[in-house]
Amino acid sequence: MDENKKDISNEKGSKGSLFSFLNGLVGSSKNEEKNTPMPESKISRYADSIGQSNYISRDLSWLKFNERVLDQAREKNLNIFERLKFLAITSSNLDEFFTVRLGSLYNYLDYDKERIDYSGLREIPFRKALLSAVRQFCQEQDRVFNEELKPQFKDYKFQVIKIGDLSQSELGEAIDYFDYTIYPMLTPMLYDHTHAFPVLIPKTLIFGVVTDSSRSTLFSEDSETKKMSFVQIPGNLPRFFTIERGDEILFLPIEEIVRHEMKKLYRNVEIQAINLFRIVRNGDFTLEESDDIESDFVDEIKQKIKSRRLGRVVYVEIEPNANEWMVTILQKRWEIDKYNIFVDECLIDYTCLWQIIRHPDFQEELEPVHPPVPPLRLKEKNIDIFEVIREKDLLLHHPYNNFEPVLQLLEKAAEDPDVLAIKLTIYRLAKRSRVTQALLKAAENGKHVSVLFEIKARFDEENNIREAERLQRAGCFVIYGIGWYKTHTKLMLIVRKEGNRVIQYAHLASGNYNEDTARLYTDIGLLTTNPTYTKDISEFFNVITGHSQPANYQYLITSPRDMRKRLIELIRNESENAKNGLPSGICIKLNSLEDRYIIDELYKASQAGVKIKLIVRGICCLRPGRQNLSENITVRSIVGLFLEHARIFYFHNNNEPKLYGGSADIMVRSFDKRIESLFELVDDEVKKHAIHILDYNLRDNVNAYELQEDGSYSKIICSLSQDNQPIDIHKMFYEIEENEMEDINLFPEEKIEIQQESGSIEETPIEEEKK
What residues are annotated to the active site? 488
Q: Give the C-alpha separation, 178 to 446, whole Å.
A: 55
Query: Using omega within 30 degrees of 0 as the cis cutoff, is the peptide bond preceding 405 cis?
Result: no
Sorted by sequence, the CB contacts under 8 Å of residue 297 that are 6+ apart come out as: 289, 290, 480, 481
Q: Give the C-alpha separation, 230 to 196, whole Å.
A: 12
Do 49 and 315 touch, CB atoms closer than 8 A?
Answer: no
Side-by-side strand order, sheet with 158-160: 158-160, 248-253, 240-245
Q: Give the C-alpha separation, 764 to 751, whole Å.
A: 6
Q: Give the C-alpha separation, 326 to 638, whole Å.
A: 44
Cβ neighbour number for residue 528 with a 10 Å cutoff? 25
Cβ neighbour number for residue 6 with a 10 Å cutoff? 14
Do 675 and 482 touch, CB atoms closer than 8 A?
Answer: yes
Cβ neighbour number for residue 364 with a 10 Å cutoff? 7
Q: Exposed (0-12), middle (13-18) or buried (19+): which is 167, by Cβ within 10 Å?
A: exposed
Q: Give the C-alpha separation, 695 to 690, whole Å.
A: 9
**How large is the angle between the packed helices 563-579 and 596-608, nearest 10 degrees?**
10
Q: Give the C-alpha separation, 188 to 227, whole Å.
A: 12
The amino acid at 536: D
The DSSP code sequence of 270-307 is: EEEEEEEEEEEE---PPP---S-TTTHHHHHHHHHHHH
- Read off the DSSP letter of residue 666: B
Do 322 and 277 touch, CB atoms closer than 8 A?
Answer: yes
Beta-strand relationship, 448-453 and 477-479: parallel
